[in-house]
Amino acid sequence: MRYEMTKDLETGNALIDSEHRQLFKAVNDLLDACSQGKGRSQVESTLDFLVSYVAKHFGDEEKLQVQTSYPGYAAHRQFHEWYKGELAVTARDIKTQGASIAALNSLNQMVGKLLMHIRTDDRKVAQHVRQS
């Protein structure tokens, strides 16, 4: 399954939407590398990029929230911290156990949680930023 930026995922904020596209590209690149039996180093470097980029993206979102006094900042940041931790565990599992069906299923579940977060919470943030 490939992840694409669909209308229901667009927030209307150029920075947030651009970073979401980059996240989807990184996940798609990782899934492609795994399905094509690419070398462990490519999988690991893609995982490292994904974990790093998620942290950068969440930081950018949080900065917007602080700048605009977003009332849901604490809960949003709490999700971000939880997600970064879970993603790190998933990445570690793929690195140590290989791209097993279970590990890739875990990654897909993580992406699913991110999609729900984008559809609900990130869209609220973007609306708040536009109105500020």
Q: What is the pLDDT of residues 25-66, one digit of tens each?
A: 988 888 888 778 775 677 788 889 999 999 999 999 999 999
Question: Across the chain, what does the average pLDDT equal?
Answer: 90
Which CATH code is given to the segment(s) 13-129? 1.20.120.50
Q: What is the DSSP letter of 72?
A: T
pLDDT in tens, 16-27: 999 999 999 988
Amino acid 89: pLDDT: 93
Q: Residue 34: which H helix or E strand, with range? A: helix 14-35
Provide the residue ranges of all domains of the chain, joining segments of one domain with +: 13-129
What is the predicted pLDDT for the residue at 39?
59
Is the per-residue pLDDT at 125 higher than 90?
yes
Q: Given pLDDT bands bounded at 50, 70 and 90, which one contains residue 122?
A: very high
Q: Annotate 62-91 with b (16+ C-beta within 10 A) or e (fewer).
A: bebbeeeebeebeebbeebeebeeebeebb
